[in-house]
Protein backbone atom coordinates (compact mmCIF):
# COMPACT_ATOMS: atom_id res chain seq x y z
CA UNK A 1 0.00 0.00 0.00
CA UNK A 2 1.05 3.63 -0.29
CA UNK A 3 3.41 4.72 2.46
CA UNK A 4 2.03 7.16 4.99
CA UNK A 5 3.65 10.56 5.44
CA UNK A 6 3.99 11.14 9.17
CA UNK A 7 2.36 14.14 10.87
CA UNK A 8 2.20 15.61 14.35
CA UNK A 9 -0.36 14.88 17.07
CA UNK A 10 -2.88 12.20 16.11
CA UNK A 11 -4.85 9.45 17.78
CA UNK A 12 -4.28 5.75 18.31
CA UNK A 13 -6.69 2.86 18.44
CA UNK A 14 -6.72 0.21 21.18
CA UNK A 15 -6.56 -2.92 19.04
CA UNK A 16 -7.44 -5.33 21.84
CA UNK A 17 -10.98 -4.05 22.32
CA UNK A 18 -11.61 -2.05 19.12
CA UNK A 19 -13.36 0.29 21.51
CA UNK A 20 -11.36 3.47 21.58
CA UNK A 21 -8.51 5.60 20.41
CA UNK A 22 -5.48 6.18 22.60
CA UNK A 23 -3.65 9.48 22.21
CA UNK A 24 -0.14 8.99 20.84
CA UNK A 25 2.25 11.14 18.80
CA UNK A 26 5.08 8.76 17.78
CA UNK A 27 3.86 7.79 14.34
CA UNK A 28 5.45 5.28 11.97
CA UNK A 29 4.48 3.46 8.72
CA UNK A 30 1.17 1.68 8.08
CA UNK A 31 0.11 -0.83 10.71
CA UNK A 32 -1.23 -4.19 9.52
CA UNK A 33 -2.75 -5.13 12.86
CA UNK A 34 -4.50 -2.00 14.20
CA UNK A 35 -8.04 -1.43 12.89
CA UNK A 36 -9.01 1.40 10.60
CA UNK A 37 -11.50 4.04 11.78
CA UNK A 38 -14.31 4.22 9.21
CA UNK A 39 -17.40 6.36 8.62
CA UNK A 40 -20.35 6.28 6.24
CA UNK A 41 -20.57 9.59 4.37
CA UNK A 42 -23.49 11.49 2.87
CA UNK A 43 -23.53 15.00 1.36
CA UNK A 44 -25.69 17.63 -0.34
CA UNK A 45 -24.62 20.70 -2.26
CA UNK A 46 -24.33 22.43 -5.61
CA UNK A 47 -21.92 22.47 -8.53
CA UNK A 48 -21.69 24.60 -11.68
CA UNK A 49 -22.39 22.16 -14.52
CA UNK A 50 -23.97 22.00 -17.98
CA UNK A 51 -27.74 21.69 -18.16
CA UNK A 52 -29.12 18.39 -19.44
CA UNK A 53 -31.15 20.20 -22.11
CA UNK A 54 -29.90 23.41 -23.68
CA UNK A 55 -26.59 25.09 -24.42
CA UNK A 56 -25.93 26.66 -21.03
CA UNK A 57 -24.48 25.99 -17.59
CA UNK A 58 -26.39 26.22 -14.31
CA UNK A 59 -26.07 25.58 -10.58
CA UNK A 60 -26.88 21.87 -10.37
CA UNK A 61 -27.65 19.73 -7.33
CA UNK A 62 -24.80 17.56 -6.03
CA UNK A 63 -25.60 14.62 -3.74
CA UNK A 64 -23.73 11.74 -2.13
CA UNK A 65 -25.99 9.02 -0.76
CA UNK A 66 -23.31 6.34 -0.60
CA UNK A 67 -19.81 7.28 0.55
CA UNK A 68 -17.15 6.30 3.04
CA UNK A 69 -14.31 8.00 4.92
CA UNK A 70 -11.57 5.66 6.13
CA UNK A 71 -8.82 6.78 8.50
CA UNK A 72 -5.75 4.53 8.42
CA UNK A 73 -3.51 3.47 11.35
CA UNK A 74 0.25 3.66 11.64
CA UNK A 75 2.28 1.76 14.19
CA UNK A 76 3.67 3.85 17.04
CA UNK A 77 4.76 1.33 19.65
CA UNK A 78 3.45 -1.02 22.32
CA UNK A 79 1.39 -0.15 25.37
CA UNK A 80 3.65 -1.05 28.32
CA UNK A 81 0.67 -2.07 30.46
CA UNK A 82 -1.46 -4.10 28.05
CA UNK A 83 1.22 -5.30 25.63
CA UNK A 84 -1.04 -4.27 22.74
CA UNK A 85 0.07 -2.22 19.74
CA UNK A 86 -0.74 1.49 19.79
CA UNK A 87 -1.38 3.36 16.56
CA UNK A 88 -1.50 6.88 15.19
CA UNK A 89 -4.16 7.87 12.65
CA UNK A 90 -2.76 10.35 10.15
CA UNK A 91 -4.03 9.34 6.68
CA UNK A 92 -7.46 9.10 5.08
CA UNK A 93 -9.17 7.80 1.95
CA UNK A 94 -12.53 8.90 0.55
CA UNK A 95 -14.73 6.53 -1.48
CA UNK A 96 -17.70 8.37 -2.99
CA UNK A 97 -20.52 7.97 -5.48
CA UNK A 98 -21.32 11.55 -6.49
CA UNK A 99 -24.59 12.30 -8.30
CA UNK A 100 -24.58 15.54 -10.30
CA UNK A 101 -28.14 16.61 -11.05
CA UNK A 102 -29.52 14.67 -13.98
CA UNK A 103 -26.06 14.19 -15.49
CA UNK A 104 -25.60 10.92 -13.63
CA UNK A 105 -23.47 9.35 -10.91
CA UNK A 106 -19.67 9.49 -10.87
CA UNK A 107 -17.36 7.37 -8.66
CA UNK A 108 -14.71 9.46 -6.92
CA UNK A 109 -11.78 8.13 -4.90
CA UNK A 110 -9.10 10.03 -2.98
CA UNK A 111 -6.56 7.52 -1.73
CA UNK A 112 -4.29 7.69 1.32
CA UNK A 113 -3.80 11.41 1.87
CA UNK A 114 -2.72 13.20 5.06
CA UNK A 115 -5.40 14.40 7.48
CA UNK A 116 -5.14 18.13 8.17
CA UNK A 117 -6.79 18.10 11.59
CA UNK A 118 -8.42 15.61 13.96
CA UNK A 119 -8.76 16.42 17.62
CA UNK A 120 -10.95 16.26 20.72
CA UNK A 121 -11.60 19.05 23.22
CA UNK A 122 -14.16 20.57 25.54
CA UNK A 123 -14.94 21.11 29.22
CA UNK A 124 -15.35 17.41 30.01
CA UNK A 125 -12.14 16.58 28.17
CA UNK A 126 -10.17 18.82 30.52
CA UNK A 127 -11.83 17.20 33.54
CA UNK A 128 -10.93 13.72 32.31
CA UNK A 129 -7.27 14.68 32.11
CA UNK A 130 -7.38 15.21 35.88
CA UNK A 131 -9.37 12.04 36.65
CA UNK A 132 -7.97 9.71 39.31
CA UNK A 133 -10.26 6.77 38.65
CA UNK A 134 -11.92 5.18 35.62
CA UNK A 135 -14.39 7.55 33.98
CA UNK A 136 -16.05 8.27 30.60
CA UNK A 137 -17.55 11.46 29.21
CA UNK A 138 -18.87 12.93 25.97
CA UNK A 139 -16.38 15.29 24.29
CA UNK A 140 -16.34 17.53 21.23
CA UNK A 141 -14.28 16.77 18.15
CA UNK A 142 -13.24 18.33 14.86
CA UNK A 143 -11.91 16.88 11.63
CA UNK A 144 -10.40 18.63 8.61
CA UNK A 145 -9.56 17.18 5.19
CA UNK A 146 -8.16 18.76 2.05
CA UNK A 147 -6.83 17.63 -1.32
CA UNK A 148 -5.44 19.06 -4.55
CA UNK A 149 -4.66 17.05 -7.66
CA UNK A 150 -3.41 19.13 -10.59
CA UNK A 151 -1.71 16.90 -13.10
CA UNK A 152 -2.57 19.44 -15.82
CA UNK A 153 -1.70 22.50 -13.69
CA UNK A 154 -5.17 24.03 -13.87
CA UNK A 155 -5.08 27.72 -13.12
CA UNK A 156 -5.94 28.62 -9.55
CA UNK A 157 -5.12 25.28 -7.89
CA UNK A 158 -1.79 24.63 -6.21
CA UNK A 159 -0.66 21.05 -6.73
CA UNK A 160 -0.05 18.96 -3.61
CA UNK A 161 1.30 15.87 -5.31
CA UNK A 162 0.49 15.65 -9.02
CA UNK A 163 0.58 11.87 -8.92
CA UNK A 164 -2.97 11.56 -10.19
CA UNK A 165 -4.48 9.23 -7.63
CA UNK A 166 -8.05 10.45 -7.99
CA UNK A 167 -10.54 8.33 -9.89
CA UNK A 168 -13.53 10.08 -11.44
CA UNK A 169 -14.19 8.12 -14.61
CA UNK A 170 -17.88 7.87 -15.48
CA UNK A 171 -17.31 4.33 -16.78
CA UNK A 172 -16.40 3.09 -13.31
CA UNK A 173 -13.61 3.31 -10.78
CA UNK A 174 -11.91 0.17 -12.06
CA UNK A 175 -11.52 1.66 -15.55
CA UNK A 176 -8.19 3.26 -14.71
CA UNK A 177 -7.29 2.98 -11.05
CA UNK A 178 -4.34 5.08 -10.03
CA UNK A 179 -4.65 7.48 -12.98
CA UNK A 180 -5.85 11.04 -12.44
CA UNK A 181 -8.78 11.70 -14.76
CA UNK A 182 -9.58 15.24 -13.69
CA UNK A 183 -8.04 18.19 -11.85
CA UNK A 184 -9.81 19.18 -8.69
CA UNK A 185 -9.28 20.41 -5.15
CA UNK A 186 -11.41 20.56 -2.03
CA UNK A 187 -11.44 21.31 1.66
CA UNK A 188 -13.90 19.71 4.09
CA UNK A 189 -14.38 20.47 7.79
CA UNK A 190 -16.78 18.98 10.31
CA UNK A 191 -17.60 19.00 14.01
CA UNK A 192 -18.93 16.15 16.09
CA UNK A 193 -18.86 14.36 19.40
CA UNK A 194 -17.56 11.12 20.81
CA UNK A 195 -16.87 9.28 24.04
CA UNK A 196 -13.56 9.82 25.81
CA UNK A 197 -12.66 7.52 28.67
CA UNK A 198 -9.94 7.27 31.27
CA UNK A 199 -9.14 3.75 32.49
CA UNK A 200 -7.27 3.17 35.75
CA UNK A 201 -6.31 -0.35 36.79
CA UNK A 202 -4.14 -1.52 39.66
CA UNK A 203 -3.04 -5.15 39.83
CA UNK A 204 -3.40 -7.29 42.91
CA UNK A 205 -0.16 -7.96 44.75
CA UNK A 206 -0.66 -11.69 44.37
CA UNK A 207 -0.59 -11.27 40.59
CA UNK A 208 2.94 -9.94 40.45
CA UNK A 209 4.82 -11.40 43.39
CA UNK A 210 4.00 -8.81 46.04
CA UNK A 211 4.32 -5.79 43.74
CA UNK A 212 1.69 -3.28 42.59
CA UNK A 213 1.39 -2.33 38.90
CA UNK A 214 -0.84 0.54 37.78
CA UNK A 215 -2.16 0.79 34.21
CA UNK A 216 -3.86 3.96 33.04
CA UNK A 217 -4.73 5.09 29.53
CA UNK A 218 -7.23 7.20 27.58
CA UNK A 219 -9.54 6.03 24.80
CA UNK A 220 -11.73 7.90 22.30
CA UNK A 221 -14.67 6.35 20.45
CA UNK A 222 -15.90 8.59 17.60
CA UNK A 223 -19.54 9.44 17.02
CA UNK A 224 -21.02 11.39 14.12
CA UNK A 225 -19.67 14.51 12.40
CA UNK A 226 -21.35 17.16 10.27
CA UNK A 227 -19.88 20.12 8.45
CA UNK A 228 -19.11 21.84 5.16
CA UNK A 229 -17.11 21.30 1.99
CA UNK A 230 -16.06 23.45 -0.95
CA UNK A 231 -13.85 22.94 -3.96
CA UNK A 232 -12.83 23.56 -7.54
CA UNK A 233 -12.99 21.28 -10.56
CA UNK A 234 -12.15 21.49 -14.28
CA UNK A 235 -14.62 18.91 -15.61
CA UNK A 236 -17.18 21.32 -16.99
CA UNK A 237 -15.20 23.85 -18.98
CA UNK A 238 -14.66 26.66 -16.53
CA UNK A 239 -16.04 30.16 -16.85
CA UNK A 240 -18.65 30.69 -19.57
CA UNK A 241 -19.22 34.37 -18.91
CA UNK A 242 -15.81 35.29 -17.54
CA UNK A 243 -15.60 38.44 -15.39
CA UNK A 244 -11.82 38.27 -14.90
CA UNK A 245 -8.95 39.45 -17.05
CA UNK A 246 -7.53 35.91 -17.14
CA UNK A 247 -10.33 33.38 -17.41
CA UNK A 248 -9.99 30.10 -15.51
CA UNK A 249 -10.81 26.53 -16.43
CA UNK A 250 -12.36 26.05 -13.01
CA UNK A 251 -15.88 25.52 -11.75
CA UNK A 252 -16.83 25.53 -8.08
CA UNK A 253 -18.81 23.21 -5.85
CA UNK A 254 -19.80 23.20 -2.19
CA UNK A 255 -22.29 22.06 0.39
CA UNK A 256 -22.73 20.13 3.63
CA UNK A 257 -21.66 16.61 4.60
CA UNK A 258 -22.08 14.07 7.38
CA UNK A 259 -19.89 11.22 8.56
CA UNK A 260 -21.32 8.50 10.83
CA UNK A 261 -18.91 6.17 12.65
CA UNK A 262 -19.27 2.55 11.52
CA UNK A 263 -18.08 0.18 14.25
CA UNK A 264 -18.31 -2.88 11.98
CA UNK A 265 -15.88 -1.47 9.42
CA UNK A 266 -13.65 -0.29 12.27
CA UNK A 267 -12.93 -3.71 13.73
CA UNK A 268 -9.81 -4.61 11.74
CA UNK A 269 -7.03 -3.32 9.50
CA UNK A 270 -8.92 -4.73 6.52
CA UNK A 271 -12.07 -2.76 7.33
CA UNK A 272 -11.36 -0.40 4.43
CA UNK A 273 -12.23 -3.24 2.05
CA UNK A 274 -15.79 -3.40 3.38
CA UNK A 275 -16.11 0.37 3.05
CA UNK A 276 -14.81 0.34 -0.54
CA UNK A 277 -17.09 -2.55 -1.51
CA UNK A 278 -20.07 -0.73 0.03
CA UNK A 279 -19.46 2.28 -2.22
CA UNK A 280 -17.90 0.86 -5.40
CA UNK A 281 -18.89 -2.82 -5.39
CA UNK A 282 -16.93 -6.07 -5.10
CA UNK A 283 -15.51 -5.88 -8.64
CA UNK A 284 -13.91 -2.49 -8.09
CA UNK A 285 -12.62 -3.58 -4.68
CA UNK A 286 -10.85 -6.54 -6.32
CA UNK A 287 -9.26 -4.16 -8.82
CA UNK A 288 -8.18 -1.81 -6.01
CA UNK A 289 -6.49 -4.68 -4.17
CA UNK A 290 -4.81 -5.88 -7.38
CA UNK A 291 -3.50 -2.36 -8.05
CA UNK A 292 -2.33 -1.87 -4.43
CA UNK A 293 -4.74 1.03 -3.84
CA UNK A 294 -6.61 1.45 -0.58
Distance of CA 111 to the CA centre of its chain: 9
- pTM value is 0.78
**Domain-embedded: residue 128:** yes
**Domain-embedded: residue 33:** no
Q: Which of 222, 218, 212 is nearest to 198 (CA)?
A: 218
Please give the torsion angle defined by the CA atoms of residues 233, 188, 11 and 4, in that order, rounded to the nearest 10 degrees: 10
**Domain-embedded: residue 7:** no
**Domain-embedded: residue 284:** yes
Q: Helix, strand, coil % (nearest 5) of the chain? A: 10, 50, 40
Contact 24, 11 (CB under 8 A): yes
**Domain-embedded: residue 186:** yes
Question: pLDDT tens track of the chain, all 294 residues?
Answer: 332 221 222 222 222 222 334 434 344 566 777 889 999 999 999 998 888 887 888 899 999 999 999 999 876 666 665 566 677 888 899 999 999 988 888 888 888 888 999 988 888 887 777 767 777 788 899 999 999 876 543 334 333 433 334 444 333 443 343 344 457 889 999 999 998 877 777 666 555 555 555 666 677 889 999 999 999 888 776 666 778 787 777 888 999 999 999 999 999 989 999 999 999 999 989 988 888 888
**Domain-embedded: residue 87:** no
Phi then psi for residue 62, to 5 deg, are -120, 125
Domain limits for position 280? 38-71+98-290
Q: Which of 160, 114, 119 is nearest to 140 (CA)?
A: 119
**Domain-embedded: residue 53:** yes
Contact 118, 143 (CB under 8 A): yes
- Rounded distance, CA 285 to CA 280, Å? 7
Per the structure, how many domains does the chain have? 1
**Domain-embedded: residue 241:** yes
Amino acid sequence: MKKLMTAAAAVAFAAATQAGIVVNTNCNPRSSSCPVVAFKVTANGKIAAPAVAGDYKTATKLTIKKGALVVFPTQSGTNPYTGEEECCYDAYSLYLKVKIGKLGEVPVGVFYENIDSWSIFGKKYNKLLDAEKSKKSSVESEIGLSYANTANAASGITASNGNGDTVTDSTGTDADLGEGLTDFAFIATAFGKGTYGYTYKQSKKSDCNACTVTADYYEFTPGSYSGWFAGLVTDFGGDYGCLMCNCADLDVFGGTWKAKYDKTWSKSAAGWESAAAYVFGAGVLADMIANDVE
